[in-house]
Amino acid sequence: MGFVVYLSFYKNSGNASPVDILIEKANIYYQQPLKNGLTQEIILKDLNEVQFLKDFKLIIHGFTASRLHSSIKPLKQAYLDQGKDNVLLADWSEAAKVDYPTARKIVRKVSLTLAKILENFIKKFNIEKSEIHIIGHSLGAHIAGCVGHYFSGSLGRVTGLDPALPLFTPKSSDSLNSNSAQFVDVIHTDYPVFGDILPRGTLDFYPNYGFTGQKGCDEFDLAAASKLIFKAYSCSHNRAVLLYAESIGLPRNFPSIPCNLHGIKSRNIGICHQEIVERGLTINSLREAIAAMDNDTVVYMGEGTPKRNILVVKTIHDSFKPAVPTGNLFLDKVKGNQ
């Protein structure tokens, strides 16, 4: 999704501003699986039962989107196809339609609205906070992070998919960071256009070093960045969603190499470690590491054999140990590409 920067803001009038009214419309919907493979949506406060009291996935959309947006569908479907997760979709679409500066300004308010809904749900069913995993895209990644802050970092996991860059700084308190949950993982794919490059999680991944112009996306991104059209579609910005959705069903499909931010920004694999870590849902406890990937083909979406060249990167900590065995055959291929 593209960002549009208009220099206009809603002004307070009375007790509630127009934008506050839009924020109050934000809600969370439970995806109830049906026997025919379809799902029935139930507003969270009206839910009387859940499949099981664990593995709750809350997906939060970004600027200009909704729970029905194309950026959310791959995530929703990937989890539903697994059949082992309770899938929740947040929708703050009414407020997400305002100009970008205003949308960025209300991140904390939107997160507070969603957090209170989630809190009531947790109390109603006596759910362990560690069973809650929030996934947010773009501006939704920062909202997800702030929901995590509401719970003082006690939620099990927050995943940020290409967190929004415009109007955010490393010091922004209303943003995703490593304190948002017990474990925070982030995928960066669109710097310096719509996505941030700074590590914000416990573990940050950088496909193609996290820069815009992901494989097969160059022309799309040029149009989105130069024209700044409201409905412009940023291929690279949404690539994080597609990669993560694929990893849900194929968690060992994304081997990565640990590196530091200097190696990523300079695109210099020579300074990085040669130990392989795998990208996907199997990673849930690595501390303060950054990983990078480099694909030699357009994103693989689950058909045929994936063709990947994952370039070597280096961890921040010398004590870092890979969570999975090193693949010698793959490592030889990587070294051959240096």
Residues with catalytic roles: 138, 162, 237
The strand pair at 86-91 and 56-60 is best described as: parallel
Selection from 338, 155, 160, 182 nearest residue 237 by Cα = 160
CB 8 within 8 A of CB 80: no
Q: Is 136 helix (H, G, I), strand (E, B) or coil?
A: strand
Phi, psi values for residue 194, rounded to 5°: -105, -15
Q: Nearest 5°: CA angle at 316, between 313 and 320?
A: 85
CA–chain centroid gap for 63, Å, is 13
CB 313 within 8 A of CB 272: yes
Q: CA-CA distance, 323 to 281, in Å (whole number)? A: 12
The strand pair at 203-207 and 254-259 is best described as: unpaired
Q: Is 57 helix (H, G, I), strand (E, B) or coil?
A: strand
**Encoding tokens for residue 225?**
């960045």
Rg, Å, the chain Cα set? 19
